[in-house]
Amino acid sequence: MSHDLVIGWDIGGAHVKAARVEEGRVIDVVQWPCPLWQGLVQLDAVLAQAAARWPDYREACHAVTMTGEMVDLFEHREAGVAALAQRLAARLGERVAFYAGEGRWCALDEVAAHWTHIASANWLATAQVVARRVPNAVLVDIGSTTTDLIMVRGGRIAARGADDAARLRTGELVYQGVVRTPLCALAQRIGFRGETWNVMNEHFATTADVYRLTGELAPMHDQHPAADGASKDAVATHRRLARMIGHDARDASESEWIAFACQWRDLQLGYLAANLTRVLGKVGPARGAVRLVAAGCGAFLVEALARSCGYETVRFGKLVEAPGGAAGWAQVCAPSAAVALLFAETADAALV
């Protein structure tokens, strides 16, 4: 049995992403900022926006995955999964299912028993969709905050870690992204004007400042406040970067600050490449047999990573054949599109 109208949800700690699938095709995808650590009222506000965008959304089936259980609003992850599931079921209605891994879906009353499989499983949904389309690949989903590096081998997911803790150990989860990551997480020392400087371990600037200056971060993905709450224009961005090494924006030219931003970019790219090598070194096929599947708002960095390591790339939005502008957003919001597509193909009896 197929479901004609499915909305897929990826409930994160900083964003909520949603994808509308009709008759098995991605039709519309959207992302809303949602600083969940500030309270469940933030989620309520997003759901109100979803209702305005899709007035018939309560008539749909809803497929949910999440990572928001990790925020410090909750005592522990189990409590976070339970709270989010209850809130979503109350707002979305009875036709809601929670993704619990390959081929498994939970109704609300089953969430407590399966919370460990539901927690932070969004990467697995995306990888499942990729595995059905590209038999040998690495899913590289670079988002605002994190990066997933998931091996697909022979049409099967070959991840060695099943949860966030294990994936951090294996290198399959890297807690770096292209928007929210503090720059002090990227390096202890960095070059500037031919010399090397210690980096200030303060939340003075983020990766959004870097990719705003390089011109690679689209404004529609630059959704969170700057580290100092100030403007995102070039002058304010220079000022934030300068603080990282004890300087002021007026101490250098615009071209020098852009060159400085490129150094931060190179450092992040190198760190991601090292983790990709770690993942491929454990389970990967021969280099010529693998492609990188680019997802997330940092897909531009996936393509740079592929060039630096000698791989080809394919974009997730193209794999799922989303039409027009929806393709770009399907790529940015890959887990929400993935759970919607997976549920659209799932019989009701598949609920565990």
Cα dihedral sign for 213, 187, 313, 64?
negative
Residue 349's pLDDT is what? Answer: 39
Tens of pLDDT, residue by residue over 228-247, are 999 999 999 999 999 999 99
Structure-derived torsion over alpha carbons of residues 117, 123, 128, 134, reported in degrees to the nearest 10: -160
Categorize the per-residue pLDDT at 2 as very low, low, confident or very high, splitting at 50, 70 and 90. very low
Residue 283's pLDDT is what? Answer: 56
Residue 168 CB: number of other CB atoms within 10 A?
A: 14
Q: In this prediction, what percent of the chain has a pLDDT beyond 90?
A: 87
Q: Taking all residues of the chain, what is their mean pLDDT, rounded to a whole number?
A: 93
Give yes or no for residue 286 having a pLDDT over 70. Answer: no
Specify the fold of 5-124+322-350.
Nucleotidyltransferase; domain 5 (3.30.420)
pTM for this model (two decimals): 0.93
Residue 206's pLDDT is what? Answer: 98
User: For the chain, what are the domain ranges?
Assistant: 5-124+322-350, 135-319
Strand segments, DSSP code E, in the chain are 5-11, 15-22, 25-33, 61-66, 96-99, 105-106, 137-142, 147-153, 156-157, 173-174, 189-192, 195-198, 291-295, 312-315
Specify the fold of 135-319.
Nucleotidyltransferase; domain 5 (3.30.420)
Residue 263's pLDDT is what? Answer: 96
- Which residues lie closer than 8 Å to 178 by C-beta, 6 or more apart? 142, 143, 144, 207, 208, 210, 211, 216, 217, 221, 296, 297, 298, 301
Tens of pLDDT, residue by residue over 93-126, are 889 999 999 889 999 999 999 999 999 999 999 9
Tens of pLDDT, residue by residue over 15-63, are 999 999 999 999 999 999 999 999 999 999 999 999 999 999 889 999 9
